[in-house]
Amino acid sequence: MKLILLSLITGALVGFVFALLKLPIPAPPALPGIMGIVGIYLGFQFYGWIAGTFLK
């Protein structure tokens, strides 16, 4: 839980600084960005399943 809270605070601070300096947000558009993160997570989990099942 502590790591999640620190990540949220760090992201909020970075977003605030970028807005303050009138820079574009350092993240992809909302839905495509979220789907990219989900895809990375699923790929990582899929590798763990493949490695655990077939590469023993």
For the stretch 2-55, pLDDT in tens is: 898 998 899 889 989 999 999 988 777 788 888 888 999 999 999 999 988 887
Residue 56's pLDDT is 67
Residue 25's pLDDT is 81
pTM metric for this prediction: 0.55
Residue 11's pLDDT is 86
* Cα–Cα distance for residue pair 32/13, rounded to 1 Å: 22
The number of CA neighbours under 13 Å toward the Cβ of 28 is 7
Which structural domain range is residue 27 located in?
Answer: 2-54
Structural domain count, the chain:
1
